[in-house]
Structure 1
């Protein structure tokens, strides 16, 4: 930030010297050139991307409505100074230009703060206001994520907010969300963690309005009548086409993933959506076979026949990379879909001492961690997902309609936010370690509700606000 303000101050000094020397016509060119340079280039990298990827309506309205007024005022004062050469005329001209400059800087500061803040690097801070809802005020929480209803004895994990380093992430405003999404549909596409996020959003919105259930087994749909806003969910474990048809060495009990073909079901429905929140990844740890061009190229937890061993070149992480690029490329090239796609990055789990099925545990975690415990699998999945995102954007040129919601690093700190052993209301469930220190069966992947997962929807709202609400930003008026 300091580099760019140094640039502005340097330009300001040049302008002051020109004014002092009374190079009136040159001054006009300089101030307008500086204004165009600031507003068209936006010296902050995030703003540069925003301007280069789409026409910013606030900017266009500014240039249309505001710049002609500056030119008029400067020309008027120039004429006055030419005719009278009076000190008063020169001072009026200087005052007008300085006022224009201050207005321009204020507008610059305001708009740069909206598009330059990195939402994904920050820290967790304690929030005395508590959660946006409780397990008693939301009727649709999946029982496995209803940690308080399942007897979890602590609840401080509900009282932490994400604080980006450069700005504040606003607390979720349900009415603002419904206003921005009036007449629109937001769809979550992914696995059970996507369902976790959808239910979190519904719980938050439920506090101001009870929605109507319009869904079915294939697609969950909830509509809020006051604004005709719909929240939908489509299950897609891998985001690519899969079958259970038997092939050599893999029977109907093994999923076959065609990594170069997107999931046809969600692709059929996306033209109906205005915003998509896309996520995946965890199912790639399950038993499956990977195919490209209908040829087996790899697998996970599957022993191929000897005839296929030489072709087994793709592991589950690489398969994930290919699948993400396939899905995003297909969405970007869908001619009937022009909505906003938010790609949520890989959600970290916190199984310590093993995996979900080999004694991994998150028992006893009650506060966010001070630092992220490195997890090679999470890091590998995240890196490949991000690489695929940018590869598909470069390939399709569709970056204007896609946003990467990079939650992985920040949520690596939230080992306290999972159900752990409190995933069932069974009063006889085992919650303590047994003989030999073996932990009870538990869930360290999904998120308690309420809990950290609600922050994902605060990020979604902020992304939507930046995309849909900027057209209503006030345009500065030059004070006469």
Structure 2
């Protein structure tokens, strides 16, 4: 077990590296923090492995062989089909992530489906996770005959089925993981200690991939709830990160109590950073990855909170850290190309461009290459 001194030294080591290199430290999402392998399972590191490759540290390399699938994939939603919506450039489709000292295997659809034979994989979270689900479906669907694939819908869940492989790739809308309900007074109440309404969909799934951070970091004006609730206590104001920690702890308790690590693999993907003006960034008219990442642009709190929760769990959850590598890709957002509009309309919309979601093909394809390598 790491000592307090070890943790303190780790923190200062992270802080210095953050200013000197272009990436994070741990495996995936919002701003990194040094984590002892014995404390948290990492995407790139098996507890019993003597060789570690940190996928989160590296650089973007231009590769003419990308994208990995046809931009006309029929499973893409309008908001991410940036080419169809008039985006004039396409280089954002051609960057692959090259970790320092190793490589991520190119996505192989048949190999992935072979690993998933007779299994269910479910991606759980917000619209960014929906982004990743669409990417994963497009990565595999091209090798499946037309009559042997279909999409079904069930409440907040949707599933892509490959009949020959008896495989389903599913998405569940649960951006906060815990339950958001309407009160009798028509107020939106976030129940920090209730989760079963969402968790009932997770039972029986072989591979669960979670994300939850974007909605927790919305400002007061865009918050999705009016009150928090714990037990019978209704709370108007609470620190966002304290609430996030409570919500994640409810999720962690459910996983610990209800899932068997011999039957289910659980992955938590870190936060996909926004490149909006509030953070001092912008994504409009960007055509290349950023050459470096600055600590000032993205606060580390969500990942620190997540790591703290995972460390206390009995269940071996894998943390997939995509935050720093993704922070470099402000060129990959839909910007004003989230729907087909005239050039004049695009200019008027510039102030409200989408700098959160991702054009497809694009950045989430790399997350799925990492996911396939893990599985």
Tell me the TM-score range normalised by the shorter chain.
0.7 to 0.9
CA distance in 2, matches of 1:271, 1:372: 39
1:429 to 1:378, Cα distance in 2 relative to 1, 3 A: farther
Q: How does 1:324-363 map to 2 (within 5 A)?
A: 324-335=248-259, 338-352=263-277, 354=278, 361-363=282-284
Which of the numbers 311, 318, 322 marks the counterpart of 2:246?
Answer: 322
**Structure 1-normalised TM-score?**
0.63
Q: How does 1:246-257 map to 2 (within 5 A)?
A: 246=184, 251-252=185-186, 254-257=187-190
Match of 2:61 in 1: 125
Deviates more, 1:316-325 or 1:186-195: 316-325
Superimposed CA distance per residue, residues 409-431 of structure 1 (whole angstroms, 9 cap, x where no aligned partner)? 11111111100011011235633
Q: How does 1:451-462 map to 2 (within 5 A)?
A: 451-462=362-373
User: Cα distance, 1:165 vs. partner?
Assistant: 1.0
Match of 1:419 in 2: 334
CA distance in 2, matches of 1:427, 1:207: 32
Match of 1:102 in 2: none
Contact preservation (8 Å) 1:189, 1:278: yes
Match of 1:265 in 2: 197
CA distance in 1, matches of 2:272, 2:40: 26
Size of the alignment, in residue pairs?
Answer: 327
Contact preservation (8 Å) 2:125, 2:173: yes
Contact preservation (8 Å) 1:190, 1:236: yes
Greater relative contact order: 1 or 2 (C-alpha under 8 angstroms, separation 6 or more)? 2
Match of 1:93 in 2: none
Superimposed CA distance per residue, residues 134-176 of structure 1 (whole angstroms, 9 cap, x where no aligned partner)? 322x101110111111011111111111111121011111111
CA distance in 2, matches of 1:344, 1:410: 13
Structure 1: gaps spanning 5 or more residues: 1-44, 57-110, 299-311, 465-480
1:188 to 1:276, Cα distance in 2 relative to 1, 3 A: same
Pairing 1:220–2:158 present: yes
Match of 1:409 in 2: 324
Contact preservation (8 Å) 2:178, 2:198: no
Structure 2: gaps spanning 5 or more residues: 1-35
Superposition CA RMSD, Å: 2.6
Contact preservation (8 Å) 1:360, 1:439: no
CA distance in 1, matches of 2:210, 2:260: 18
Q: How does 1:426-445 map to 2 (within 5 A)?
A: 426-427=341-342, 430-432=345-347, 439-445=350-356
Contact preservation (8 Å) 1:259, 1:322: yes
Match of 1:144 in 2: 79
CA distance in 1, matches of 2:169, 2:272: 21
1:413 to 1:159, Cα distance in 2 relative to 1, 3 A: same
CA distance in 1, matches of 2:329, 2:84: 20
Contact preservation (8 Å) 2:38, 2:47: no
Classify the secondary structure of the residue corresponding to 1:447: coil
Classify the secondary structure of the residue corresponding to 2:154: coil
User: Cα distance, 1:219 vs. partner?
Assistant: 1.7
Classify the secondary structure of the residue corresponding to 1:132: coil
1:227 to 1:411, Cα distance in 2 relative to 1, 3 A: same
Match of 1:232 in 2: 170
Which of the numbers 297, 305, 324 marks the counterpart of 1:384?
Answer: 305
Higher helix share: 1
Match of 1:371 in 2: 292
User: Cα distance, 1:321 vs. partner?
Assistant: 2.0
Q: How does 1:135-174 map to 2 (within 5 A)?
A: 135-136=71-72, 138-174=73-109
Superimposed CA distance per residue, residues 162-202 of structure 1 (whole angstroms, 9 cap, x where no aligned partner)? 11112101111111110111100000111111111000000
